[in-house]
Structure 1
């Protein structure tokens, strides 16, 4: 089985926290359109921290799935 990409893993987390199972997620999808309100965005951030072993600063607020992926990947490189 092929290893999941960062994008795929983040999409899974967004779906689990936002309940947007039927929305096709792309890099341009706004987190609000994926069903994430402010609380579920925080929950998704915490889930990503656990999943990827990173720490996301509270002032970093990605607006789209692509920004979320870029943020996580940049923190994984450190």
Structure 2
């Protein structure tokens, strides 16, 4: 999976949590609520990202868009 970008990996996790198929187009501007992620599903996506990337995301983090989610993961990976 090293050849996949953070964006692609986060999108795959979000698609799975939202029950979307692989063809669903997601952009950095896509709001998580637009694709059906409620607060519980967002927490589950955050936990899945923690497992995927081996990071710990602040429990208070509440990304609203795919772009915010990716930025949050990238910042933690850079530490």
Q: Shared fold (TM-score greater than 0.5)? A: yes
The separation in 1 between residues aligned to 2:43 and 2:60, in whole angstroms, is 11
More helix by share: 2
TM-score (ref. length: structure 1): 0.92
Gaps of 5+ in 1: none
The separation in 2 between residues aligned to 1:48 and 1:16, in whole angstroms, is 12
Count of aligned pairs: 78
SS at match of 2:51: helix
What's 1:42 paired with? 43
The separation in 2 between residues aligned to 1:7 and 1:30, in whole angstroms, is 14
How many Å apart are 1:19 and its aligned residue?
A: 1.1
TM-score (ref. length: structure 2): 0.91
Q: CA RMSD in A?
A: 1.6
Runs of 4+ with deviation above 6 angstroms: none
